[in-house]
Amino acid sequence: MKINVVESPLCREDAVFNFVHAPGEPWMHEIKAGQIIRIIDVEGNQAVDALFLNARKPEERYDLTETMAAQGNAYLGMGTQIMSNDGRPMLTIVADTCGRHDTVGGGCCSQEGNSVRYGLEKRFMHACRDNFMLAVGKWGRGIDKRDIVSNINFFMNVPVRDTTLHYEDGISGPGKYVELRAEMDVIVLISNCPQLNNPANAYNPTPLEYLVWDPQGAAQ
């Protein structure tokens, strides 16, 4: 996929919402149709495990195969429409200073995955699936573990070579971001990845930041 870097015209001071997301923690928030969310890689090389659900009908949620089929590519970038399992666009990438994001990196890290990939002594380590489970357990509203499907990994670099996935240093950097416009009312579920065993987080998880603009501010 050709890397296409497009900066946003939006100003920080016009944002209606701001949140700094500590490393290793979950976050869940509703974004209204037309709003734009910016996900910022504050210190660089941090993996962002993200899922999206229809806020009015949570059984409609992000779908890996629909998203890949709609754009004919395994990676996400400027102009990508993130599709639901009903074949409808949920969000559109409208600005991106990183240029490429992963969809096929094996989903989120888990205790089971840690033990298989890195050794049984790593099983106890916190993982993104734990974060997802904790977040949906607190959120309620009919969302549960069946809604935790294969997720997007923003800022993560997982090239495919010889049919094998390779976890490599990210192509992101401090302050790089991706912006997404919601095409419906969307629940955003993010694990700020706690993984310490591969280069996805440069072996050192760091904070993220989120800004949200209303449609009026987005149009300015």
Does residue 126 lie within any of the structural domains?
yes
Average confidence (pLDDT) over 188-207:
80
Does residue 16 lie within any of the structural domains?
no
Record the tokens describing residue 155, joined without a space.
């800022």
Does residue 9 lie within any of the structural domains?
no
Does residue 87 lie within any of the structural domains?
yes
Q: 104-108, 166-170, 180-184, 192-196: which range is least confident on average?
A: 166-170
Does residue 13 lie within any of the structural domains?
no
Return the closest-CA partner of residue 218 out of 176, 175, 179.
Answer: 179
Q: Residue 127: pLDDT above 90?
A: no
Domain count, the chain: 1
Match 């599709």 to its residue by tokens.
Answer: 83
Q: What domain range is 183 assigned to?
A: 23-208+215-219
Give the ranges where 125-219 is alpha helix by DSSP (H).
128-139, 215-219
- Taking the C-alpha atoms of residue 173 and residue 110, their distance in angstroms, rounded to an integer, is 25
Match 């974004």 to its residue by tokens.
Answer: 31
> pLDDT digits over 27-76, tens only?
999 999 999 999 999 999 898 999 999 999 999 999 999 999 998 888 89
- Taking the C-alpha atoms of residue 5 and residue 203, their distance in angstroms, rounded to an integer, is 26
- Taking the C-alpha atoms of residue 220 and residue 218, their distance in angstroms, rounded to an integer, is 6
Q: How many CA atoms does the CB half-sphere of 54 hold within 13 Å?
A: 16
Does residue 43 lie within any of the structural domains?
yes
